[in-house]
Structure 1
Amino acid sequence: MTTQAPTMGERFAAQAVIEELLRQHAGMPRRNTFARLFGYSPLGADSVSWYLGAKGEIEVGRILATLPPEWTVFHALPIDKKGTDIDHLVIGPGGVVTINTKNHTGKRIWVAERTMMVSGHKQRYIRNAEFEANQVTTLLRERMPQLPAVQPSIALVSPKSLTVKKRPARVKVIAATGLRRWLLKLPVTLSAADMLELAAIIDAPGTWPPQAFAPTENVRGRFAALDVEVRAARVRSTLWKVTSFVAVFGGFLLVGPQLVTAIIGVLFSGAP
């Protein structure tokens, strides 16, 4: 009895990122009682960016799930043998769109043509988004030669601000909250038949390069458990900080007046 390989449509938002996060986390020592009590994060320093990336892709996945029925959404599509993946790919009347998600919660984003800055630091996101879209265009045109070029985009999750001085020529840079509206306003380039054909091509595992790593068991369940640990640690850490502040402030209120009186007494004790 042969087992049929999962289709690409069965992959969920952030799957590739979560699998890498779990691989890294597997080598982390368990926190001791002291670390858990005081809210030390279960994540290693190298795992934090993967965790935040996963949370960002999950949020964008939720937004894409609200698209009308004629749209088809794919997540975590492997684009090369090194483990690189397309965060999200959508097919709709407006064409094929690749979406590169960036979770920059609370950060200032500045864009001018091919330059993108995150809190003053230059990033290569626009170049990378173009490269990924070009790869997908090449791959799909092997099966549909007349297919319009894939539209690259970057979806920013919860930035503090997004300033676009000059729009990039090809890549749409947008806050995730505006992603759905933008997709629905794209000019129509695909027929219903084209969309069905594309969905079948993209859904087939043979369309894509083989994955770099073997599938991880119980990915969603393990991530959910880790997410609970991370959020609980954050709450404990915050509570300890608040408690410490209250204790220090309360102590100052108790001893402050006596301390001020003593200092004044010392200062004026030698006065004539």
Structure 2
Amino acid sequence: MATQAPGMSDQIAAQSVIEELLRLQQAVPPRSGFARFWGYSPLGADSVAWYRGAQGEIEVGRILSRLPPEWRVFHALPIGKAGADIDHLVLGPGGIFTINTKHHRGKKIWIAERTIMVDGHKQPYLRNSKFEATRVTKMLRERMPQLPPAQAVIALVGPGQITIKKKPDEVRVMDANDLRRWLLKRPVSLIEADLVDLAAIVDAPATWTALTSGPTPSLMAKFAVIDGEFRTARVRRTVWKLLRIVSLTAILVIAGPSFITAVFQDFLAPH
């Protein structure tokens, strides 16, 4: 019995990022029982950014999964060379959207017409997102010339503070929590018949620059193991930190004000 070749709709959110994370983690020795006890992170130094990236794309994938059924969502679409991909491509009545996920939990984001800065560091996000949308527009119009241009979107996951000096003209930047509502408010530009044809084009692996075998069944399970170990390590580090604070506080309380005064006097006394 012949099996159907996987389509791009079989790709999962953060697929390529998780694959790279797992590849990097193969070179990281398992943490010892002692290290796990004290809450050492299971991630290698090179793995941290990929882990954070996977978290962000998975979160945006969850948000997009709550769109109505007339919307189609694709993830991790390979484009260009050197393993580049489009995090999320969304097709719906409101148009075509290339969504670039950036996970910057707690960071200060500063946005101007041509610049995005994260905690004071300039990032090429606007340029890259615009390039993705332009490339997708060109690819899809080769098959359906009447299509509207793809809209570039940057979805920020967990930002601390967002300061907008001036909105960029060609790229929409927003908190990922606002993404679904914003998409649903876009004016209608595609009818259902066009969406059906467009989704078929996007779903075909031959449309893209690299063939895909689809996600392995254990991909998310392997990520879940790493994610669980990371979260457990973080909790343990927090517990040990709290215990140190409690212990120090108890010592100071038991010792009393006279002990604290004596320590400061000895510290300030000339030697």
Kept in 1: contact 2:13–2:76 (CA 8 A): yes
Residues 210, 2 of structure 1: alpha-carbon distance in 2 compared, 3 angstrom cutoff: farther
4+ residue stretches of structure 1 with deviation over 3 A?
1-4, 211-217, 260-266
Question: CA 1:260/1:69 → structure 2, altered by over 3 Å: closer, same or farther?
Answer: closer
1:51 counterpart SS class: helix
Q: CA deviation at 1:257?
A: 2.7
Secondary structure at 1:113 match in 2: coil
* Offset, 1:83: 0.8
In the other structure, the counterpart of 2:250 is: 250
Q: Secondary structure at the match of 1:251?
A: helix
Q: Does 1:157 align with 2:157?
A: yes
d(CA) in 1 for partners of 2:265, 2:234: 45
Q: Does 2:150 align with 1:166?
A: no
Confirm or deny: 8 A CA contact 2:111 2:166 kept in the other structure: yes
Contact kept, 8 Å, 1:64 with 1:180, in 2: the verdict is yes
Change (3 A) 1:66 1:205: same
Q: Structure 1 residues 182 and 12, CA, compared in 2 at 3 Å: closer, same or farther?
A: same
Alpha carbons of structure 1 residues 201 and 257: separation in structure 2 relative to 1, 3 Å: same
What is the CA–CA distance in structure 1 between the aligned matches of 2:265 and 2:102, rounded to whole Å? 59
1:1-272 equivalences in 2 (<5 Å)? 3-211=3-211, 218-260=218-260, 262=262
Query: What are the Cα deviations for residues 110-144 of structure 1, in whole angstroms up to 9, with x where unaligned?
Result: 11111111111110000000011111111111211
Given the superposition, is the C-alpha separation of residues 87 and 263 from structure 1 closer, same or farther in structure 2, using an over 3 Å criterion? Answer: closer
Distance, in Å, in 2 between the alignment partners of 1:199 and 1:63 is 20
Deviation at 1:261, TM superposition (A): 6.0
Shift of 1:64: 0.6
Q: What CA distance in whole angstroms lies between the structure 1 residues aligned with 2:108 and 2:19?
A: 29
Structure 1 residue 258 displacement after superposition: 3.7
* 1:270 aligned partner: none
RMSD over equivalenced CA pairs, Å: 2.0
Identity %: 59
Question: Once structures 1 and 2 are overlaid, which stretch shifts more, 204-213 or 28-37?
Answer: 204-213
Are the counterparts in 2 of residues 92 and 190 from structure 1 also a CA contact under 8 Å?
A: yes
Distance 1:255 1:88, change over 3 A: same
SS in 2 for 1:74: strand
Task: Report the equivalent of 1:269.
Answer: none
Q: Shift of the alpha carbon at 1:162? A: 1.2
Deviation of the 1:211 alpha carbon: 4.9
Asked if the contact 2:252/2:260 (under 8 Å) is kept, the reply is no
> Higher Cα Rg: structure 1 or 2?
1
Kindly tell me the number of residue pairs found equivalent between the two proteins.
Answer: 266
**Unmatched runs of 5 consecutive residues or more in structure 1:** 267-272
Q: Is the 8 A contact 1:81 1:211 kept in 2?
A: no
TM-score normalised over the length of structure 1: 0.92
Separation (CA, whole Å) in 2 of partners of 1:92 and 1:159: 27
Take 1:264 and 1:203, find their aligned partners in 2: how far apart are those partners?
Answer: 71
Q: Distance in 2 between matches of 1:133 and 1:256?
A: 66
Per-residue deviation at 1:213?
9.8
In 2, the alpha carbon distance for the partners of 1:137 and 1:243 equals: 56
The one-character-per-residue Cα deviations of 1:144-200 (angstroms, maximum 9, x if unpaired) are 122111100000011111111111111000101110111111121111111111000
